[in-house]
Chains A and B, each alone.
Chain A
């Protein structure tokens, strides 16, 4: 590739990685917002009348990250949550805070909930007991979750058969498998039912990622084309096959790495906080570039020799 060609390829790749980064950040934010609109539940959440014993007995049959919620009768807008297995990570309860099965006696509270600080640690008092506050709910101060309290405390799950909301990956089919269709009720959609946001968001994001991926592939194809021309010349001047392949690989891997470094530096200069999904998405774009280029490059070279 000449410098001009390399620059054109890099610019295209920069646009796609930038798009993917932005999509990743937006996806995280859209998920948090959707979770807020649905009182921290996913659209698949179901309700079942069950005892704690039943839940614990079947805990292995639920996907990793499945959790159970119950309303605390004494305190309005307070819920207890038990993570049945693994980590609750598919719906970010709050930026950077994750509940796991071992997080017992801790609480997440909204911004409007009164907390007391003892020894530098914030506590919230619910029904006569104190719980350590480990995070804030909601994206803003005045969110729909501002008055909500979420306590990870299996002890607050009494033995009675009470309405319990189950949520987690693939919960719909698994809950039906465990409890039978008759015992399962859908959970009302909260604020999100006002619009089609729960339906539209995954489609728009998926198509956005698809466009970005195809764009990366286009960048790879044009890089392979340019590099193919150079490879042919290198062959003509007598370079060995291994040396030619090596240079192609260097270009294929080097370009996305430089581009990514530039994009990430640029974004952090603008103060964009990058979430892990965004970084994962960027590296996946680079993978697409490298794989497509290495697939297309040698093929083209063969056709010219």
Chain B
């Protein structure tokens, strides 16, 4: 009965208090999900151990088509190139980050224009076209890369598995690929895409899907996202591929060479040149040049800074909201306590024990806390993103807050003077 009387008299205040606490709990939960994503970014793709100096490696045949053709026609010359690439890949002091965005041609492509090789680039899309045999073809965004680049960029699959790089062999006709997250629903793990890669017909078997927001450093942009891209692993042994298919193998070997090299920031430009020179001397390949790419490190640090600064800002906002919530809840507790004082005195006068008094008022508190938990759960369910840990964390925090709240209110009731003692 007392519960009903209490809810009737103080219902509005109890509702407001529960609402304020629930709103703050949802806000804290949202911030918790953000903290999770920030720590994922700062420890993953923006981690401090990605603070390296990046250098661009290019061949010296730019504009020299004849020299390029002559080089690729010679088995001996090509072997120097593939040896150079292989030794660079095995070098401990330099990370050989090979990636190139040659589009692949896919037959009977299930996606739409946003996967088109030219989508978003400023060039006109070619769209779907008919091949020589009348098949439906589309040029699709693709990024070829080696294992070092995949690992360095902290790429990871959200489902399925990453390709096994050592097994990749273009001459087998079957290449494992990882698809960007936008491909979900269009293709399944295990599907095979009929494709034309560098002019060679391949079947691409889907082994997994990238996590949303996966990005690599590409063409000076640290935020080159791969959500709409097919990630195609480079062959494990380009030398063998060249032996089997000199024309395509040569193109792939040059594509692999024209990439980035990551070196520890403690190494100078001359150290890197010296290291490359040693490999060149061993393999006999000298047709390359090296240039520093300072934008990488600058961009990485700025992006990290902006991510951390965003986190700090939202953290401050959450903290201030928390302070206001605590102040309001204490204020309402005070008013509710005032409303209770006369009732407590009467109870004391008629000889009810403290325990019995607390049990009665505790019913109202239990109702209030239940409302908060329900509102919080409903609020979180209404948000589109669901994460277990922040949800449970905030729930635990609410538990702690409820106990503190109950203790302070019980203290207030126990401290109410018994009428007889003060003689009022």
A residues at B contact (CB < 8 Å): 8, 12, 15-16, 19, 22-23, 26, 29-30, 33-34, 36-37, 47, 49, 71, 142-144, 162-163, 182, 185-191, 193-197, 199-201, 203-205, 207-208, 210-212, 214-215, 217-219, 221-222, 225
Scan residues 1-52 of chain B and give those whose CB is less than 8 A from a CB of chain A: 12-13, 16, 19-20, 23-24, 26-27, 30-31, 33-34, 37-38, 40-41, 45-46
Asked if B151 CB lies within 8 Å of chain A CBs, one says no
Whether A22 and B320, one on each chain, are in contact in the complex, defined by CB atoms closer than 8 angstroms, is: yes
Whether B16 and A218, one on each chain, are in contact in the complex, defined by CB atoms closer than 8 angstroms, is: yes
- Bound: A281/B45 CA distance, A: 38
Which residues of the partner chain B approach A201 to less than 8 Å between Cβ atoms? 310, 314
Asked if B114 CB lies within 8 Å of chain A CBs, one says yes
User: Least Cβ distance of B154 to chain A in Å?
Assistant: 11
Which residues of the partner chain A approach B357 to less than 8 Å between Cβ atoms? none
Q: Which of B27, B311, B332 contacts A218 (CB 8 A)?
A: B332
User: Least Cβ distance of A214 to chain B in Å?
Assistant: 5
Which residues of the partner chain A approach B320 to less than 8 Å between Cβ atoms? 19, 22-23, 208
Whether A142 and B302, one on each chain, are in contact in the complex, defined by CB atoms closer than 8 angstroms, is: yes
Q: CB-defined interface of B312-348 with A at 8 Å, one 1/0 digit per residue? A: 0110111011011101100110010000000000000
Scan residues 110-136 of chain B and give those whose CB is less than 8 A from a CB of chain A: 113-114, 119-122, 124
Which residues of the partner chain B approach A15 to less than 8 Å between Cβ atoms? 323-324, 327
- Bound: A163/B303 CA distance, A: 26
Whether A207 and B23, one on each chain, are in contact in the complex, defined by CB atoms closer than 8 angstroms, is: yes
Q: A197-B34, A214-B328, A218-B13 are in contact. List 5 more A-B contacts (CB 8 A).
A: A188-B120, A193-B213, A199-B385, A211-B27, A215-B328
Asked if B236 CB lies within 8 Å of chain A CBs, one says no
Scan residues 373-413 of chain B and give those whose CB is less than 8 A from a CB of chain A: 383, 385
User: Least Cβ distance of A229 to chain B in Å?
Assistant: 12
Asked if B223 CB lies within 8 Å of chain A CBs, one says yes
Which residues of the partner chain A approach B19 to less than 8 Å between Cβ atoms? 214
A196-B385, A211-B24 given; A143·B331 CB < 8 A: no
A15-B323, A34-B310, A193-B215 given; A185·B120 CB < 8 A: yes
Asked if B354 CB lies within 8 Å of chain A CBs, one says no
- Bound: A217/B13 CA distance, A: 10
- Bound: A204/B331 CA distance, A: 23
A30-B314, A33-B306 given; A193·B223 CB < 8 A: yes
Asked if B299 CB lies within 8 Å of chain A CBs, one says yes
Whether B328 and A207, one on each chain, are in contact in the complex, defined by CB atoms closer than 8 angstroms, is: no
Whether A144 and B303, one on each chain, are in contact in the complex, defined by CB atoms closer than 8 angstroms, is: yes
Which residues of the partner chain A approach B34 to less than 8 Å between Cβ atoms? 195-197, 200, 204
Which residues of the partner chain A approach B167 to less than 8 Å between Cβ atoms? none
Which residues of the partner chain A approach B222 to less than 8 Å between Cβ atoms? 191
Which residues of the partner chain B approach A193 to less than 8 Å between Cβ atoms? 213, 215, 223, 225
13 contacts between A and B (CB under 8 A): A26-B316, A33-B310, A36-B306, A144-B299, A185-B114, A190-B223, A193-B215, A194-B307, A204-B27, A205-B317, A214-B19, A214-B328, A222-B335
A15-B323, A33-B306, A144-B306 given; A218·B318 CB < 8 A: no
- Bound: A211/B298 CA distance, A: 39
Which residues of the partner chain B approach A221 to less than 8 Å between Cβ atoms? 12-13, 16
Whether A200 and B33, one on each chain, are in contact in the complex, defined by CB atoms closer than 8 angstroms, is: yes
Which residues of the partner chain A approach B23 to less than 8 Å between Cβ atoms? 207, 210-211, 214
Of listed B38, B303, B318, B320, residue having the most chain A CB within 10 A: B320
Whether A30 and B331, one on each chain, are in contact in the complex, defined by CB atoms closer than 8 angstroms, is: no
Which residues of the partner chain A approach B311 to less than 8 Å between Cβ atoms? 195
Which residues of the partner chain A approach B12 to less than 8 Å between Cβ atoms? 221
- Bound: A19/B38 CA distance, A: 25
Q: Which of A34, A37, A162 contacts B122 (CB 8 A)?
A: A162
User: Least Cβ distance of B199 to chain A in Å?
Assistant: 28
Asked if B271 CB lies within 8 Å of chain A CBs, one says no
Q: Which of A22, A188, A200, A212 contacts B314 (CB 8 A)?
A: A200
Whether A218 and B321, one on each chain, are in contact in the complex, defined by CB atoms closer than 8 angstroms, is: no
Which residues of the partner chain A approach B307 to less than 8 Å between Cβ atoms? 191, 194-195, 197
Whether A71 and B317, one on each chain, are in contact in the complex, defined by CB atoms closer than 8 angstroms, is: no
Of listed B41, B124, B328, B335, residue having the most chain A CB within 10 A: B328
User: Least Cβ distance of B357 to chain A in Å?
Assistant: 24
Asked if B309 CB lies within 8 Å of chain A CBs, one says yes
Whether A211 and B310, one on each chain, are in contact in the complex, defined by CB atoms closer than 8 angstroms, is: no
Which residues of the partner chain A approach B124 to less than 8 Å between Cβ atoms? 49
Whether B31 and A194, one on each chain, are in contact in the complex, defined by CB atoms closer than 8 angstroms, is: no
4 cross-chain pairs, A with B, having the tightest CB-CB distances, nearest first: A207-B27, A163-B122, A200-B34, A208-B321
- Bound: A70/B113 CA distance, A: 21
